Chains A and B, each alone.
Chain A
């Protein structure tokens, strides 16, 4: 899916926001959408149910313009969080270059987070993706709500691979761009690895 095309000078990458239902995946995209200048974004496509739950997926194309001579585009997707939409999740995940796992920091959502992460791993394995190298970041969302679990607890339960993680309050925008920036950089660095040249980590 991801593409660095030297002759057409294009870079395209696909990033998927994954996580349990109501963890704030769509809110992430909406916040990004609101802050991207008009000429840089396409219309955000949301296929949602009447109760505003994502039924299929959200899609936000971003045109980052020409960077170092390359027309750089990003496609941001969300998957539906509810358990029974696994077929849609697999479909959206196909061809992804990176994943943001949006966890719900609320204590009562603890099990849903673990279940969703397990589901992500299953689906990635089905796509023959190596979990150790696949660009992934974790966002601990809803930090602004009362009674959330400490980050360290969440890290222990969800981040056993030690990927970059960010506290966030997606509705107010806190941490949204930090998360996007981190996953984008991982994806781009991964692209360069696939070119056979490793970029030195800073």
Chain B
């Protein structure tokens, strides 16, 4: 905490003194130590993540540091990131404040091993959990190894995100408990040896019998004895131990339960060590069957004479797949709590069909994707069109009374006549009135393109279902569907369903439906069945017409303008000496 700025910009340093060599292994920590060793030997390939937990002072940090130090020694090309959760979150916060979030992420991306201590502080902290999930994804996507240490098991971390819980449980969870008496003696001897001191006969044994709450306190007691030996230059005797370490030895029965526990631990250790791969698989089958999952994968592993490692790996993979299935189910429920897909238990409870489950999730995602929204402007009051035009009045009426009176509503006119603006105003007014986002607004080209993409990804059903959520469908430039087959057919089917459901349909095109070339009759007649309005200029704009006449009069041999196409946006000139027309944008 003293190094100010540097503190937050770098991960913590590993203490090089904490290695496997000076870590004493006993019954209480055998599993954790063996797993740590294996992770350090081949990071990313076994026990990923490794979750270590114990009360404080029992060697978590030593073990997690030993993993880091070993990897740095043996695998020099592997980048190890060691940190505590608190410190890492500070780094994230400061990176965000400094606008260097990417720098933080890229450092994470540069690491292959993440050693994270004190993850119990994730409790009740959503932000930190999200950040860890992100870091996790970054690492896991490249097969990185994750090791976590905590003072409690994952299930006891309050308000822990389900996704994190299932990830924590996907590897190996190992705890370290209070070492038994023999291990305590070994620890005392080893520590004394490290300090280059010799203990008199019986001192280590007496000290190990003292009721210390954890190994750190035991080391504290030893330090006191060693200090007295050094400073007084004499050997401490066994009789003095109780007095020198503060009379703790006067409470011989205080740890009766602890000693019971140590002894029982030895027996459990033996029981567990004798579980065969077949029993492990059999047990897993019973468990997952009990929870309603299909277990074919485990069953076939069972018949193949698996080795212990194969059985473990098979169970780990299976468990991870089940966890993913659970995630998929939750994701579907989040997207659409009423999704009928949730009842597809034949898929959602069958790890062999995980690919199908992913497809189902994709299709629900597609179905629930937000509808293409209309442009943000213009609204009716901003339209460059005469408010009294039939088309404009009809458009307002459609927005106010969608679905029944003018359905479909078909607007036609030349390019630039203001069709898009008009139907945009219609859609925006509809949204304002209904206070909903149930407008699907797209061009004819977009309609075709989306359909092609849906066919390509085998998502046509989801694509249809998505548009069934719309209460107002606008296809701007329906002429683009000219000569298409599937798009017209889809539109045709959609037409009938939508009209029955009271969905308002709005189309624009350059020509009225009867002149739409390359359209099937069944679709054309349906497009004609509602209200068709044009955005051709009316004879009403006398002022503009007079101005144009004046232009022509000044140039007798010049072009003529098309009186049937006259509005305040554009002007269509006919040139007598070229076979073409010219559209002029008016200011």
Please list the residues of chain A having a beta carbon within 8 angstroms of any beta carbon in chain B. 4-9, 11, 32, 35-37, 40, 64-70, 72, 173, 177, 180-181, 184-185, 188-189, 191-192, 195-197, 199
Q: Find chain A residues with CB under 8 A from B284 CB.
A: 6-7
Chain A CB within 10 A, most for which of B253, B257, B263, B275 = B257
Chain B, 124-136, contact with A by CB distance < 8 Å: what is the 0/1 string? 0000000000000
Q: Which of B173, B274, B279, B315 contacts A69 (CB 8 A)?
A: B173
Considering only CB atoms, which chain A residue lies closest to B265 in the complex? A67
Give min CB distance, A195 to chain B, whole Å: 6
Per the bound structure, the CA–CA distance linking A196 and B282 in Å amounts to 13
Q: Which of A5, A7, A69, A173 contacts B31 (CB 8 A)?
A: A69
CB pair B274 A192 closer than 8 Å = yes
Contact A68 B265, CB 8 Å, known A6-B284, A192-B274: yes
Per the bound structure, the CA–CA distance linking A70 and B153 in Å amounts to 12
Given A64-B264, A68-B273, A184-B260, 17 more A-B residue pairs with CB atoms under 8 Å apart are A6-B283, A6-B284, A7-B280, A35-B256, A40-B257, A67-B265, A67-B268, A69-B173, A69-B272, A70-B272, A72-B268, A173-B256, A181-B260, A185-B263, A188-B268, A196-B276, A199-B274
CB pair A7 B288 closer than 8 Å = yes
CB pair A65 B268 closer than 8 Å = no
Per the bound structure, the CA–CA distance linking A126 and B259 in Å amounts to 36
Chain B contact residues, majority secondary structure: helix
Chain A contact residues, majority secondary structure: mixed
Q: How large is the interface on B (under 10, 10 to 19, 20 to 34, 35 or more residues)?
A: 35 or more
CB pair B287 A66 closer than 8 Å = no
Q: Find chain A residues with CB under 8 A from B27 CB.
A: 68
Per the bound structure, the CA–CA distance linking A40 and B261 in Å amounts to 11
Per the bound structure, the CA–CA distance linking A34 and B272 in Å amounts to 29
Give min CB distance, B288 to chain A, whole Å: 7
> What are 10 A-B contacts defined by CB distance under 8 Å?
A6-B283, A11-B268, A67-B177, A67-B268, A68-B265, A68-B273, A180-B260, A181-B263, A189-B271, A192-B274
Contact A191 B271, CB 8 Å, known A7-B287, A67-B265, A184-B264: yes
Per the bound structure, the CA–CA distance linking A4 and B264 in Å amounts to 15
CB pair A188 B274 closer than 8 Å = no
Give min CB distance, A171 to chain B, whole Å: 14
Q: Which of B253, B260, B279 contacts A6 (CB 8 A)?
A: B279
Q: Find chain B residues with CB under 8 A from A64 CB.
A: 261, 264-265
Contact A68 B31, CB 8 Å, known A192-B270, A197-B276: yes
- Does chain A have a CB within 8 A of B267? yes
The 8 closest A-B pairs by CB, nearest first: A6-B283, A66-B175, A192-B271, A67-B268, A7-B284, A7-B287, A197-B274, A188-B267
Chain B, 104-121, contact with A by CB distance < 8 Å: what is the 0/1 string? 000000000000000000
Q: Find chain A residues with CB under 8 A from B259 CB.
A: 177
Q: Which of B30, B253, B274, B279 contacts A173 (CB 8 A)?
A: B253
CB pair B260 A177 closer than 8 Å = yes
Give min CB distance, B73 to chain A, whole Å: 27
Give min CB distance, A66 to chain B, whole Å: 4
Chain B CB within 10 A, most for which of A5, A40, A69, A189 = A69
Q: Find chain B residues with CB under 8 A from A32 CB.
A: 257
Considering only CB atoms, which chain A residue lies closest to B172 in the complex? A69
Chain B, 275-302, contact with A by CB distance < 8 Å: what is the 0/1 string? 1100110011011100000000000000
Give min CB distance, B455 to chain A, whole Å: 43
Per the bound structure, the CA–CA distance linking A6 and B265 in Å amounts to 16
Considering only CB atoms, which chain A residue lies closest to B153 in the complex? A66
- Does chain A have a CB within 8 A of B475? no
- Does chain A have a CB within 8 A of B327? no
Considering only CB atoms, which chain B residue lies closest to A4 in the complex? B271
Q: Find chain B residues with CB under 8 A from A6 CB.
A: 275, 279-280, 283-284
Chain B, 2-45, contact with A by CB distance < 8 Å: what is the 0/1 string? 00000000000000000000000001001100000000000000
Q: Find chain B residues with CB under 8 A from A181 CB.
A: 260, 263-264
